[in-house]
Each structure stands twice: as C-alpha cells, then as structure tokens.
C-alpha cells in the first residue's frame, strides 16, 4: 500500500483522465507511475531533434469526437486547431482518396462522373460477398467489391497485421468509411480537431492541474507494485500485468523511420497509404495537421512489426478467447487488490483517443 488514495499505472490519455477526474471531483491524492521517460502515452509528441517541428513519436493521432461531452472535457486543457485529416493511397503511381469515395471508385474502375446511383450499381456487380460478414475480408468484399478490396485493402492489411483480413474481425477494416459522395476526410466524426500546442502539452496540463497529483516517470510499476488505499488503475498491457501467465496476447507494433526534408512540403496531405508491395504501410507528414510554418518538414514512414511496444490489440477470434480468460483473472485481481484495468492496452480494445478518454471518465466515476 502507498499513502495515496489512488495509484494510476501509466500517464497516457486514460491515466491522465482518471487522475485528473479523481483529484478534482473526489479530492483524492493520486500517484501516477509511468514506465517511459515522458507522459502522454502513445500520443506523445515533441520537437523532432534538431528542428522545431512537432512529430508524433509513436504514430499519428487524428483526434475526433463522437460527442461534445468528451470534447468539452479535454477542451478545459487545450485550445483547438481544426482537423485537416486527409489521407490518400498510392496506387500505380497515382494518389487516390482514402476512404473510398466517388473519385476513388472512378480512378480505380476507370470511370468518369459517377453518381451515387451509378457507383452503387458498379460496385454491386463486383461484390465478392453477400450476407453478414464474419471477418474484414467479407466486410469489404460485401461493401466495396473485389477490385477495391484487392487494390486498397488486401496487401495493406497483410502488412499491417501480418495476416489476411480474413482472420480479422469485420470492425478492423470497418473502421474506415466507404462513401458514395466526394467527402475527402478520413473520418466521419462530427468533431475533428488537433490540440493547438500538441498532445504532450494537453496531457501534461491535465496531470499538473491539481497539487493532489504526483507523477513519477522512468519507473516500472510491475517491478515495485504499490497500491492505492482506495484503488489502483492499471493501463499497461493486460498480459504484462499477469506475466503472460496464460500465454502472450497478440499485439502488433510499429517501427518508425523519420527523415527531415529540406523542402516545405513532401506530400499533398498528412498521410499517404501504400497498399502495394512496399514493406511499409504509410508515410505521415504531420505538419499538415499541426499547421506549423517551416521551410523544412518531417516525414515518418511506418513499418508494422510483431516486435516492439504494443500498439494494436489484434481483433480476431483466438485473441478474443484468450482475452476473455485474462478478463477473468482481472476480475479476481479487482476483488483481491482493488485493481481496475483501463485503456487500449489494459482493456485490450482497439479504440481511438476520444474513446479512451470517454471510457476513462466512466471508469473514474465508478471508483469509490
């Protein structure tokens, strides 16, 4: 036991939210223990070495909100910039809009001036699956057809996940909308914004918002577990907590190669996806969304990998079964030691940052 009411393991979006809410609304003392040398979790951004340009060290984060409650909550700690989340895919040397929209369908099917009706008819004739999709391959074949699946999803997904879309839940490829209009933005969320001073500044402000919150970094809680007198919230990888007692949960990681380019812009939008034979999946030029002005730019190429920090839980049948067995252990741990698991890693859920904050607020409200 520590002298703190609450111990939070991990200083990312979930940990910062639980800590801030508990200090502010309950007056609890909170210790946040972070394994890395910084807070903000995988949202961490900083100036790229030798430049004053922000980069997202663990991959891009395009903040969007489904509801105003979470948006208003985070808005207490930051000003916002409008989001500018435009993504294209490189296909045969050309850039096509991603998500699929009418222009994508025209470029890939060799058509012009498609309407919603004519595009639907075209794809209907190419559908490779009918019925209720049981996996991501069936989902895309049933909505966009064979040609778009083969061109935009098949190899990209194999690279990203190390397996075919056939062995992933429909929700994985279903994250990206398929459109019959000309909307070029990556997500359908009604609110799309970037924190004006970056994500690290946002989560750092949350953690500094109360003198009741102490933060220690460079400390692996698993080596020296201390518990809060009221609760402990663990936001690290669920299987790490249990020393992978039931076997490791499948995770997917990323390796990043960053380059400073001596040119104002490298590509026309923040993200270009590579659904072909290249060993990487995407190139991100985050300056498009941070809106910094500079004659230079930073470009980050992503190489998916099985080794490295866990970024993605793998939504698939076998991981769901193993995860369920870990959930049973987690429930016992809650009863024995008051440990509650949260966040993308602690709950083994493929969620976005707004969803992590939303569920952290719910979790914090349940603590007593």
Residue numbers at the binding site for ligand LMLM4SSZ (CB under 6 A): 59-62, 89, 98, 152-153, 156-157, 160, 172-173, 175-176, 273, 275, 352-353
Q: How far is the CB of 303 from ligand LMLM4SSZ (least distance, A)?
A: 13
Q: Which is nearer to ligand LMLM4SSZ, 282 or 323 (CB)?
A: 282
Question: What one-character DSSP code corresponds to residue 272?
Answer: E
Contact 262, 51 (CB under 8 A): no
Distance (Å, whole) CA 16 – CA 39: 9
Tokens of 27: 């007056």
Q: How far is the CB of 357 from ligand LMLM4SSZ (least distance, A)?
A: 11
Q: How far is the CB of 322 from ligand LMLM4SSZ (least distance, A)?
A: 20
Q: How far is the CB of 71 from ligand LMLM4SSZ (least distance, A)?
A: 15
Backbone angles phi, psi at 125, to 5 degrees: -75, -15
- Beta strands (DSSP E) in 190-287 are 191-195, 213-216, 231-234, 251-261, 271-273, 282-284
Q: Which is nearer to ligand LMLM4SSZ, 20 or 354 (CB)?
A: 354
Q: Which is nearer to ligand LMLM4SSZ, 173 or 364 (CB)?
A: 173
| Per-residue CA distances from 291 to 10, 75, 297, 352 (Å) | 29, 19, 11, 22
Q: Which is nearer to ligand LMLM4SSZ, 29 or 273 (CB)?
A: 273
Task: Give me the residues paired with residue 285 across strands.
Answer: none
Contact 346, 235 (CB under 8 A): yes
Q: How far is the CB of 338 from ligand LMLM4SSZ (least distance, A)?
A: 30
Task: Give me the residues paired with residue 98 across strands.
Answer: 87
CB count, 10 Å around CB of 321? 9
Q: Which is nearer to ligand LMLM4SSZ, 153 or 185 (CB)?
A: 153
Q: How far is the CB of 221 from ligand LMLM4SSZ (least distance, A)?
A: 24
Q: Which is nearer to ligand LMLM4SSZ, 44 or 156 (CB)?
A: 156
Report which of 66, 68, 77 is spatially closest to residue 43, judged by C-alpha positions.
Answer: 77
The residue number with the shortest CB distance to ligand LMLM4SSZ is 62
């Amino acid at each position: 036991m520590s002298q703190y009411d609450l111990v939070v393991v991990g200083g990312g979006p979930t940990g910062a939210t639980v800590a801030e809410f508990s200090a502010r609304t309950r007056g609890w003392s909170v210790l946040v223990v972070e394994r890395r040398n910084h807070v903000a979790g995988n949202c961490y951004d900083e100036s790229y070495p030798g430049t004053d340009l922000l980069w997202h060290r663990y991959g891009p984060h395009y903040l969007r909100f489904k509801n105003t409650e979470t948006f208003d909550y985070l808005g207490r700690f930051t000003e916002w910039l409008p989001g500018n989340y435009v993504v294209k895919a490189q296909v045969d040397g050309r850039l096509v809009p991603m998500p699929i929209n009418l222009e994508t369908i025209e470029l890939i099917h060799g058509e012009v001036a498609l309407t919603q009706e004519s595009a639907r008819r075209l794809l209907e004739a190419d559908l490779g699956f009918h019925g209720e999709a049981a996996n991501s391959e069936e989902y895309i074949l049933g909505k966009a057809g064979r040609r778009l699946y083969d061109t935009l999803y098949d190899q990209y997904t194999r690279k990203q996940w190390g397996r075919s879309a056939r062995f992933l839940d429909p929700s994985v490829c279903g994250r990206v909308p398929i459109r019959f209009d000309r909307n070029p933005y990556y997500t359908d969320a009604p609110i799309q914004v970037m924190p004006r001073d970056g994500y690290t500044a946002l989560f750092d402000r949350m953690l500094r918002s109360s003198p009741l919150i102490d933060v220690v970094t460079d400390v692996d809680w698993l080596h020296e577990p201390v518990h809060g007198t009221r609760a402990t919230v663990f936001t690290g990888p669920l299987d790490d907590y249990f020393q992978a007692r039931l076997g490791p949960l499948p995770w997917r990681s990323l390796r990043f190669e960053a380059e400073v380019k001596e040119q104002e812009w490298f590509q026309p939008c923040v993200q270009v996806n590579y659904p072909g034979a290249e060993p990487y999946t995407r190139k991100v030029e985050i300056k498009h969304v941070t809106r910094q002005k500079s004659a230079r730019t930073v470009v980050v190429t992503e190489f998916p990998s099985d080794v490295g920090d866990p970024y993605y839980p793998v939504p698939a049948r076998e991981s769901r079964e193993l995860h369920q067995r870990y959930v049973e252990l987690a429930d016992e741990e809650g009863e024995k030691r008051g440990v509650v698991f949260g966040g993308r890693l602690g709950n083994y859920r493929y969620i976005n940052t707004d969803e992590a904050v939303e569920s952290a607020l719910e979790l914090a409200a349940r603590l007593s």
